[in-house]
Amino acid sequence: MKVALFFLALSILVVNGASKVKLCNYNGKNYRRGQTALMLPFCCTKMVCSSNGYFSYPTYGKGKKCGCCIDPFNKNNFISDGQY
């Protein structure tokens, strides 16, 4: 009986914890933590859903073709170097 109650309590904790997963939303789609929503090879970056429910833009390489950055006025937009 104690074992059954233990597993019941454990399953309730798992269900409650799963409902608190934060998703990122982009173009009407939901992305879980760690999923890539958009690759931007010309910027040498990608749009990845982070654990707090917001996108991050990690850099994955450097080279001459990498010539843009995040728009300071719109975090979901990219601009070319020297555009402003």
Q: Are 60 and 76 in contact (CB under 8 A)?
A: no
Number of domains in the chain: 1
- Residue 1 lies inside a defined structural domain of this protein: no
Count CB atoms within 10 A of the CB of residue 24: 21
- Taking the C-alpha atoms of residue 82 and residue 67, their distance in angstroms, rounded to an integer, is 9
In a domain, 9, yes or no: no
Neighbours of 47 (CB within 10 A): 20
Residue 74 lies in a domain: yes
pLDDT of residue 36: 92
Q: Which residue has the higher pLDDT, 14 or 59?
A: 59
Rg (CA), the chain: 20
37 lies in a domain?
yes
Global pTM reads 0.55
pLDDT reading at 17 higher than 80: no
27 domain residue, yes or no: yes
Q: Is residue 43 part of a domain?
A: yes
76 is in which domain, residue-wise? 22-80
